[in-house]
C-alpha cells in the first residue's frame, strides 16, 4: 500500500447533483406515453453506456421509441439544464482536502466530453484538481459499468495497482464495477437505490461529508 492511496471518483450523483436533472428530463419524455421512471429501473440504468441505458429504459417500460431516438430527444433538454447542477454535500471540500494532501485523484464517469464540460462548467476550480479523467466516450473504455473497464483504465493512468485504490460511487452498477476491479469501494447511495443493494462494499455513507480520509491513511490523523 502506498502512503497516499489513489482515489477514483464517479461524477454524476456523487460529486454533482445531475441525477435529479436526468430524472426530470426522462420523466418529461415518458409522460407522453403514460410512463414514469422508478428508482429500481434508474438504478439499473446508472453507469451504463448511454445507448445501453436507453435500451434498458425503452424495453423495460415498453416505450415506442428506438433507443437512439430517445437519446436524440433527450440530449438538448439535458444540455440546457446541466450547467445549473449543484455540488453534492461534502464533495468539493473532500476533493480539495485530498488534493492538498497529495492524494492521486481520478474521475471515472460515464459522461461523454460534451456532457462533462456542461456539467462541470460552474465547478471547474475544484474539478480541475482531477488531473486524470476517464470519460464514457474514451476509446479505451469498451464496456460501461458494471464492467470494471473504466476503473481499471483510471488506475492504469494513475500508475496505480487497482487493489491500492479507493473508489467512490453512488450507483449499484458503479459499485459493482469498482469491486470487479478489485478496489476498496466507498458507496454513497442516492435516492435511486436502497442500502440493501450494496452488501459487499467496504463503507456506506449518507454523504461525502461523512468520509474520514484519515481512516485510510490519506491524510494525517
Active-site hit among 10, 17, 149, 170: 10
Residue 158 · residue 6 · CB < 8 Å: yes
Angle at alpha carbon of residue 145, lines to 154 and 122, rounded to 5°: 65
To which H or E segment does residue 76 belong? helix 67-81
Residue 12 known to be catalytic: yes
Residue 149 known to be catalytic: no
Distance CA 75, CA 165 (A): 33
DSSP state of 200: T
Angle at alpha carbon of residue 83, lines to 123 and 48, rounded to 5°: 90
Count of Cβ atoms closer than 10 Å to residue 124 Cβ: 10
Among 154, 157, 89, 83, which Cα is nearest to 124's?
A: 83
**Contact residues for 111 (Cβ-Cβ < 8 A; gap 6+):** 11, 12, 119, 135, 136
End-to-end CA distance of the chain: 17
Task: List active site positions.
Answer: 10, 12
Amino acid at each position: 500500500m502506498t502512503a497516499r492511496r489513489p482515489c477514483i471518483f464517479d461524477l454524476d450523483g456523487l460529486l454533482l447533483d445531475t441525477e435529479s436533472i436526468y430524472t426530470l428530463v426522462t420523466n418529461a419524455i415518458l409522460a407522453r406515453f403514460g410512463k414514469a421512471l422508478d428508482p429500481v429501473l434508474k438504478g439499473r440504468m446508472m453507469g451504463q453506456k448511454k445507448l445501453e441505458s436507453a435500451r434498458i429504459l425503452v424495453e423495460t417500460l415498453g416505450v415506442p421509441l428506438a433507443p437512439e431516438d430517445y437519446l436524440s430527444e433527450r440530449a438538448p433538454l439535458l444540455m440546457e439544464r446541466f450547467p445549473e447542477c449543484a455540488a453534492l454535500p461534502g464533495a468539493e471540500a473532500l476533493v480539495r482536502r485530498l488534493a492538498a494532501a497529495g492524494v492521486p485523484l481520478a474521475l471515472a464517469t460515464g459522461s461523454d466530453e460534451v456532457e462533462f464540460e456542461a456539467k462541470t462548467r460552474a465547478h471547474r476550480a475544484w474539478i480541475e484538481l482531477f488531473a486524470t479523467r476517464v470519460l464514457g466516450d474514451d476509446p479505451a473504455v469498451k464496456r460501461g459499468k458494471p464492467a470494471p473497464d473504466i476503473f481499471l483504465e483510471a488506475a492504469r493512468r494513475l500508475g496505480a495497482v487497482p487493489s491500492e485504490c479507493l473508489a467512490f460511487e453512488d450507483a449499484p452498477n458503479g459499485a459493482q464495477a469498482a469491486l470487479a476491479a478489485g478496489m476498496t469501494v466507498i458507496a454513497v447511495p442516492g435516492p435511486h437505490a436502497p442500502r440493501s443493494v450494496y452488501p459487499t462494499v467496504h463503507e456506506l455513507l449518507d454523504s461525502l461529508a461523512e468520509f474520514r480520509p484519515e481512516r485510510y491513511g490519506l491524510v494525517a490523523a
